[in-house]
């Protein structure tokens, strides 16, 4: 396993940034606690079955995403780096292949900037997803905010 995180150029990245009105620790928990992550991970209409979440460098994350109309999509990833509550990185071992980095920046006590980057080894691989991934990532971040609201009420 290589813990190397891709160094990319703009033509090899898809980046979504969202400021959420929740503290950084809660946001980090939503990304790292399977009982919360499974509730919001994926675009609108998708659900998840998590098989393994071993949150440590070299740890595996395997799950099945269930599409809203049809289809079950197996996913396998490996965590590269975790720095609570600041940063998570993983690489996908299922297609399409890319890495994800997520940075959690504390703007204020109750505002966190989430920078979600998909990193590709080539511009060609990135261009295959650029037509739809930014919009689907925004749906994912909308669902994150819904889960954060639920988490904040208990």
Burial (CB count <10 Å: 0-12, 13-18, 19+), residue 108 = exposed
Q: Which CATH class is domain 17-152?
A: alpha beta
The model's pTM is 0.93
User: Is 1's pLDDT higher than 50?
Assistant: no
| Structural domain spans, the chain | 17-152
> Each residue of 73-94: pLDDT tens digit?
999 999 999 999 999 999 999 9
Radius of gyration over every alpha carbon of the chain, rounded to an integer in angstroms: 15
Burial (CB count <10 Å: 0-12, 13-18, 19+), residue 9 = exposed
User: Is 115's pLDDT higher than 90?
Assistant: yes
């Amino acid at each position: 396993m290589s813990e190397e995180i891709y160094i990319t150029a703009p033509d090899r990245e898809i980046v979504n940034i969202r400021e959420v009105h929740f503290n950084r620790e809660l946001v980090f928990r939503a990304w790292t606690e399977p009982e919360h992550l499974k509730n919001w991970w994926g675009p609108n209409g998708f659900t998840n079955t998590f098989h393994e979440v071993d949150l440590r460098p070299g740890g595996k994350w395997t799950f099945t995403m269930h599409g809203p109309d049809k289809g079950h999509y197996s996913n396998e990833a490996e965590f590269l780096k975790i720095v609570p509550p600041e940063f998570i990185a993983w690489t996908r071992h299922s297609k399409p292949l890319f890495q994800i980095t997520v940075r959690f920046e504390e703007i204020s006590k109750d505002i966190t900037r989430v920078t979600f980057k998909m990193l590709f080894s080539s511009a060609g691989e990135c261009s295959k997803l650029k037509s739809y991934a930014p919009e689907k990532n925004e749906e994912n971040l909308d669902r994150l905010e819904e889960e954060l609201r639920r988490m904040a009420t208990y």
